[in-house]
Structure 1
């Protein structure tokens, strides 16, 4: 692998900094139950990384009901899921940070690297505040400004711009196939954090416990950055 100029770090939120996808899944499971749609392991595996609209579409499509609702009805359903999820967000604390995250962020701050949060969630600022990660992430992509959600590259292009870096000079951390596609399409060197292989990721760490600047250096094939 050719050495790269490493100038910034871009982070997904759910599954990378905190295990908050479980709350999205719980909210969507409630919505599915209210619609009398069976909740399946396939849905639980498919939804992480999807936008709210795409998640609803996947749930409806699982029983062939994607055409049964008007756009206005679908909007009410996604708003309902968001309201349920925000109840979970309110209970988040620094204890919900994933293992190894705080030490890694401290290491990056000490090394002087700029960081940005590349989340397409409108709840991201509130989640970061409840997690006590504000000082690490003053730069958060405003979700409302994005034209397209992951797997489109918009959020990573915007995140790199927030720290005034080219995406090609940034390392992105993702835990889903959808997120990896977004980061790679933007041009980022992408490290997947997942016990299972993530197609297209440049490197993979099994857990956030493995996060360190030296691990990133090894992934980049460099002795120094």
Structure 2
């Protein structure tokens, strides 16, 4: 793909735009305490990018307790986690934007690229509002309407549709393995943002502070314009 054929940018939220994973981590750790389940480094590494239900199943499975909960009980716990998380969201401000994100979004807007938020979180609109980015992200995937969460491609297919572009002409920005899998399954050119290599990503940047149009073109091997 040539640089001129990039027609839009699709953004994950947690770990790409905002430093909000810390809040999910805190709420899940609180749930683990309530359930008397020891928290481990492995859980911290596994949960990013997972749906709320999958996160709970993973926590329960870490101590082989998943069979103790029926669907209604699982829903009650995930709803509780969401309430805890929303309390954290209420404290968010533009200061929670990750380094370099504001300048990169400004650059994309000046270049007239359409943008969409490809988050599977039902809290995404509230978070974008708290971050002061509602004028930038007028296109946000309705997470409640998705039939499958990441690593399924649904959220990226929906995001590309919101900006009337084919996924193959969109650059997706992700920070997790499951997120990269979702974006690639949708057909997007995908940049992973992580100090560790994310398998399947078309290009990597170690931090959001490195984001720019020139950096996107460089890591994707595209000619500069």
Could you tell me the TM-score, scaled by structure 1's length? 0.98
Deviation digits for residues 75-120 of structure 1, max 9, x if unmatched?
Answer: 0000000000000000000000000000000000000000000000
- Is residue 133 of structure 2 the alignment partner of residue 133 of structure 1? yes
2:149: which partner in 1?
149
Shift of 1:220: 2.9
SS of match in other structure, 2:81: helix
- Corresponding residue for residue 31 of structure 2: 31
1-side partners of 2:52 and 2:223: how far apart?
41
Partner of residue 74, structure 1:
74
Map of 1:204 onto structure 2:
204
The residue aligned with 2:124 is 124
Counterpart mapping for 1:55-134 below 5 A: 55-134=55-134
Aligned-partner SS, 1:60: helix
Q: Give, in whole Å, the separation in 2 of the partners of 1:203 and 1:22.
A: 25
Q: 1: distance between equivalents of 2:219 and 2:61?
A: 39
Q: Distance in 2 between matches of 1:112 and 1:218?
A: 20
- Structure 2 length-normalised TM: 0.98
Do structure 1's residue 176 and structure 2's residue 176 form an aligned pair? Answer: yes
SS in 2 for 1:10: strand
Q: Distance in 1 between matches of 2:162 and 2:92?
A: 26
Counterpart position of 1:3: 2
Deviation at 1:224, TM superposition (A): 3.7
Is the CA contact 1:3–1:221 (under 8 Å) kept in the aligned structure 2? no
d(CA) in 2 for partners of 1:81 and 1:144? Answer: 17
Instruction: Give the Cα separation in 1 of the matches to 2:219 and 2:201.
Output: 11
Once the two structures are superposed, residues 25-82 of structure 1 have per-residue CA deviations (whole angstroms, 9 ceiling, x without a partner) of: 1000000110000010000110000000000000000000011011101100000000
Q: Which runs of 5+ in 1 are unaligned?
A: none
**Matched residue of 1:182: which SS?**
helix
1:175-199: CA deviation from partner (whole Å, max 9, x where unpaired): 0000000000000000000011101
Question: Alpha carbon RMSD of aligned pairs, Å?
Answer: 0.9
Structure 2: gaps spanning 5 or more residues = none
- The runs of at least 4 aligned residues of structure 1 exceeding 3 Å deviation read none
Contact kept in structure 2, 1:101 and 1:208, CA below 8 Å: yes
Rounded Cα–Cα distance in structure 2 between residues aligned with 1:17 and 1:83: 22
Q: CA deviation at 1:8?
A: 0.2
- What is the deviation of 1:147? 0.2
The residue matched to 1:15 in structure 2 has which SS? coil
